[in-house]
A = this chain, B = another copy of it.
């Protein structure tokens, strides 16, 4: 059980456009100061995600709830957006059978379906709610602050339908995941006797996948949450190393940062060569974009790398042309799986057709791995730096480790970029404008700013 990072192709002595070795050496020398900054942040208590693997009480609350819920529900529906949705989606894709929600109860081993409503499009929500047997459905409402407009709107719609259908028993079909004290959901949970699980105050929303935000959905469909936390704990320890060469998250962060500021490679691609890991890329995009993309001081022009999700081999027929021959502004990190549970033999047929004959007697997983190696090699040959993160298997242990790896990498990167990895001040104005247009009390100032904006110009509408 291990995750390995191979960064051979990231350095300038191997790949023409890579990080200059001198910069890598100087990063090694400066690493103590980076670690000191991480340590200071941890001492402030704001890196609570690092403590989650050891939080047995929190994990116990999940297990207890899941045990009590077992057998009661055919459908589990997550109401959440951003980090509250991307984690459960990544877990579902990685650890459940493909097309889980289309499988029969017996194909699912008796576990419920798992739906994630990550948006407020009425078509999606209406279609799902009309199909569910509400008396056999559980709604997991995830919002740390209880103030997320989209999630609260979803909750109100669901609550209305549950009340109409189930009356006083409606609250037995809801569970909140929220801050233990503050926010709108906690008092509601007390007043209405709706069970609520905690997101510890010192765990930021986008670092919350190993809290009940991710572990409750996982536990409700039978995922081994203990193994997930164990893998995360193992990785957390590795990423505490004070030696850069032994700290995989810090290596990843250091190389991405150096490739950006020294080489202008400010677009950071994450490209799993694995269907189970495909939605990890979107989870990473949120983490990297929201943590690192921001002003460093008032009035600066803006700052931060742009993460990009891709999928191998699929994107060899889409984005790889650009990665290979586009501007030298990207790094590519591949995610691969060493041991597949089962592979599929390609039968040897049509021996006379040269486009088909050479494929016979190889295996699909082998082809996927070869395509990864060929793409990595071709990128290196063309001066495009890349690295590969290899999981021994796509299971709960390794997924937990991968979440932790990317979270630790983000914190280290934030220290190098000199930004606060925990806030997201840029989204506030849009929220205020939304409140103003909806007429939420207290949004008069935003309303004035909104009204002063330029209006659509009919001459510039075609």
Contacts and interface: CB of A to CB of B under 8 A. Distances in A.
A99 B318 CA distance: 25
A71 interface: no
B248 A462 contact: yes
B153 A359 contact: yes
B426 A325 contact: yes
B362 A438 contact: yes
A105 B380 CA distance: 49
Interface string A292-304: 1111000001111
A120 interface: yes
Given A316-B427, A347-B159, A433-B374, A440 B147 contact: no
A9 B147 CA distance: 29
A44 interface: no
Contacts of A294: 321-322, 325-326
Contacts of A455: 8
B7 A460 contact: yes
Contact of A377 (B146, B275, B453): B453
Nearest to A290: B321
A364 B122 contact: yes
Given A120-B367, A188-B350, A285 B319 contact: yes
B430 A122 contact: no
B101 A99 contact: yes
Contacts of A382: 426, 429
Contact of A438 (B81, B316, B370): B370
A244 to B, nearest CB: 9
A364 B157 contact: yes
A33 interface: no
A374 to B, nearest CB: 4
Contacts of A25: none
Nearest to A374: B433
A227 interface: no
Contact of A14 (B118, B304, B424, B454): B454
B327 A304 contact: yes
A152 B355 contact: yes
A321 B427 contact: yes
Interface in A329-357: 329-330, 340-347, 349-350, 353-356
A79 B187 CA distance: 52
Q: Which 7 A-B pairs have the closest CB atoms?
A: A82-B317, A293-B322, A374-B433, A324-B426, A160-B347, A293-B326, A325-B426
30 contacts: A4-B461, A5-B461, A7-B462, A8-B455, A14-B454, A81-B313, A82-B316, A107-B131, A118-B314, A119-B311, A120-B364, A120-B368, A122-B343, A124-B275, A125-B344, A156-B359, A157-B346, A157-B347, A160-B347, A184-B353, A266-B327, A285-B318, A303-B326, A309-B309, A316-B427, A320-B426, A321-B426, A371-B434, A374-B450, A378-B433
